[in-house]
Chains A and B, each alone.
Chain A
Amino acid sequence: MTWLFHNLSYVGELTWLHLLQSVLPVIIGTVVSIPVARFAAVRRSRGAEGAGGASRARAGKARRGTVVNAAALLYTIPSLALFVLLPLVLGTAITSLTNVIIALSLYVIAMMVRSCVDAFESVDAAVLDAATAVGYRPARRFWAVELPLSVPVMAAGLRVALVSNISMVSVGAVIGIQSLGTLFTDGLRRDFTTEIIVGIVLIALIAVVLDRLVALAAAVATRWQVRS
């Protein structure tokens, strides 16, 4: 404990770096995932599309499968490998935070595309038809009806992605990228379990706090929902 008090500014700096690497990818990943998922989601419409509906439905399903599977494929790549290899592709320095942020954004996309697709598909087609019927144009219908209605499922996925991401950030320490994970590699070299435990506790704490924040934000955003 005394170690923590003597090194508050150091730990604080690492915590800040950790937060940066945890939150940015989640924001980037989510912003990318929503349009991709919207494009891939298969609308469960009931014959309203008339002739050609069947073949269009088939094409939609193929599209959905491709997008969801491609996203899942990303997830099979070990994070450490991605941290190291992105600099080669991007031309960034290996110790640059940019690599970690882009790599982790990819993981968030891998997880979020799936949940966003599910989220859009969870929206009752009848509600969307009703919105169209009362005169909503597609863009407004998306922002005012479809997106808000898909928030609950999306938020559930977001929370899982966020928590896994916070834990994954620490792996960057293996290649010298500073985060709370640095406490693990440094603690290992200095035979210093206190340092490692401080790191684990802080990471778990960040995860809990951010997770609650997202849950809260989702609850606020869906106040219209009837709670049982």
Chain B
Amino acid sequence: MNVVEQTWNWFTDPASWGGSGGIWIRLAEHLGYTGMVLGISVVVAVPIGLWLGHTRRGGNVVIGLTGALRSLPTLGLLTLFALWIGIGLTAPVLALVILAVAPLLANAYAGVAAVDPAVVDAARAQGMKEWQILFTVEIPNAVPVLFGGIRNAALQIVATVTVMAYIDLGGLGRFLIDGLAVRDYSRMVASMLLAAVLALALDGILALVQRMLTSPGLVKEES
């Protein structure tokens, strides 16, 4: 097909890779936004989720809140914030953080709340303080679920950052939005491929990190 060939030509053209609007820069921008949003979201959502999970209270609040957050359309938030704040990083980052908070909060809560109460009670019986229980017992036990949330959030951010190019932002979405504006499909295909590869690579790296952070006692034997 024609578009496949054009896309190939675009990828093999050195001009596509270098320069201020080249693939390398766009990739770096995309990763930068993703990292920033993920960082902010983790700082906002994870402590709250962990604490609520530790107290084993507020389960309904968390479920309700994450459900509500999930139902907010990111494009709507982006346009709304942009009209209020103007162009620049703030509006898109804010919209993306709201998107990413839901899975992080839900999984941080679920991870801790799901730790076997017998284990927690045992720790308490040994005279551990509450914060010790949280940090040395519950969080290590919650790592797999917590990381599930982080990986989910990261995937969603990587995919959605592309939409943010709608309003003066770099990243791989530039190829998509600029290509769309002049009906250059090859660039849009390229944008899609690059975003997918980036998402897969990021997910792979996070999976590795997860494996390193997970306590050996939690790794299920091959069944």
Closest chain-A Cβ to B101's Cβ sits at a distance in Å of 14
A118 to B167, CA, bound (A): 39
A196 to B75, CA, bound (A): 10
Known: A80-B163, A211-B67. A196 touches B185 (CB 8 A): no
Is B80 on the interface with A (CB-CB < 8 A)? yes
Is A181 on the interface with B (CB-CB < 8 A)? yes
A200 to B72, CA, bound (A): 6
State which of B138-146, B188-196, B212-220 sits at the interface with chain A: B188-196
Is A82 on the interface with B (CB-CB < 8 A)? yes
Query: Which one, B84, B163, B173, contacts A193 given CB within 8 A?
Result: B84
A197 to B158, CA, bound (A): 25
Among B68, B70, B73, B176, residue most surrounded by chain A Cβ atoms (within 10 Å): B73
Is B83 on the interface with A (CB-CB < 8 A)? yes
Do the beta carbons of B158 and A76 come within 8 Å of each other?
Answer: yes
Do the beta carbons of B83 and A191 come within 8 Å of each other?
Answer: yes
A interface majority secondary structure: helix
B interface majority secondary structure: helix
Report chain B residues within 8 Å CB of A84.
176, 180, 185, 188
Considering the complex, which residues of chain B in the window 149-187 have a beta carbon less than 8 Å from any beta carbon of chain A? 155, 158-160, 162-163, 166, 173, 176, 180, 185
* Chain A residue at minimum C-beta to C-beta distance from B199: A76
Is B71 on the interface with A (CB-CB < 8 A)? yes
Q: 1/0 per residue B60-73: CB within 8 Å of A?
A: 00000001101111
Q: 1/0 per residue A74-100: CB within 8 Å of B?
A: 011111111011001000000000000
Report chain B residues within 8 Å CB of A184.
73, 75-76, 78-80
A46 to B192, CA, bound (A): 44
Is A151 on the interface with B (CB-CB < 8 A)? no
Report chain A residues within 8 Å CB of B189.
81, 85
Do the beta carbons of B75 and A170 come within 8 Å of each other?
Answer: yes
A interface size (C-beta, 8 A): 42
Closest chain-B Cβ to A53's Cβ sits at a distance in Å of 14
Report chain B residues within 8 Å CB of A25.
none
Known: A85-B185, A187-B79. A199 touches B192 (CB 8 A): no
Is A119 on the interface with B (CB-CB < 8 A)? no
Among B79, B158, B185, B199, residue most surrounded by chain A Cβ atoms (within 10 Å): B79
Report chain B residues within 8 Å CB of A160.
70
Known: A80-B163, A196-B80, A200-B80. A170 touches B195 (CB 8 A): no
- Contact sample, A vs B, 7 pairs, CB 8 Å cutoff: A75-B159, A76-B196, A78-B160, A180-B73, A193-B84, A200-B80, A203-B71
| A-binding residues in B (CB < 8 A) | 1, 3, 67-68, 70-80, 82-84, 155, 158-160, 162-163, 166, 173, 176, 180, 185, 188-189, 191-192, 195-196, 199-200, 203, 223
| B-binding residues in A (CB < 8 A) | 44, 73, 75-82, 84-85, 88, 160, 163-164, 166-168, 170-171, 173-175, 180-181, 183-185, 187-188, 191, 193, 196-197, 199-200, 203-204, 207-208, 211
